[in-house]
Amino acid sequence: MSTSEVSANRDRVDTLSGLMSATAIFLAFLCATDLHLTIAGTDVQMRPVRVGIAAVVLALIAAGIGGRHRKLAAAATAIAGAGWLLGMVIAVITERPLF
């Protein structure tokens, strides 16, 4: 493998890490809001255990990848953890299901 191929592969992985971090932050905000939607008769519930764990796992994988988005991945990990905690607190206080 040449140096340019390795660099191109690393750029792809860095891009994936950034997208995973951004997705984790988005999921963390959904988890913190404890969202409950009904669209055309279909229920969509953002339960904190399901969404929060997915956000934390995505953020941790992105942090493990590292690269040029390592600060974003670190922020995503902190935001995902805080979003999960806030979502759990809100769900317990409002007596909504956790799962």
Residue-wise pLDDT tens digits, 66-99? 888 899 999 999 999 999 999 999 889 988 888 7
Q: Tell me, what's the pLDDT at 2?
A: 66
Map residue 58 onto helix, strand or coil.
helix
Domain-embedded: residue 79:
yes
Question: What span, in angstroms and rounded, lies between the C-alpha atoms of 60 and 54?
Answer: 10
Identify whether 98 is part of a domain: no
Q: What's the pLDDT at 43?
A: 80
For the whole model, what pTM was predicted?
Answer: 0.84
Tell me the β-bridge partners of 36.
45
30 Cβ neighbours under 8 A, 6+ residues apart: 46, 51, 83
99 part of a folded domain: no
* pLDDT tens readout for residues 42-58: 887 778 888 999 999 99
The total number of structural domains in the chain stands at 1
Is it the case that residue 59 has pLDDT exceeding 90?
yes
In a domain, 88, yes or no: yes
Domain with 63, as residue range(s), is 3-93
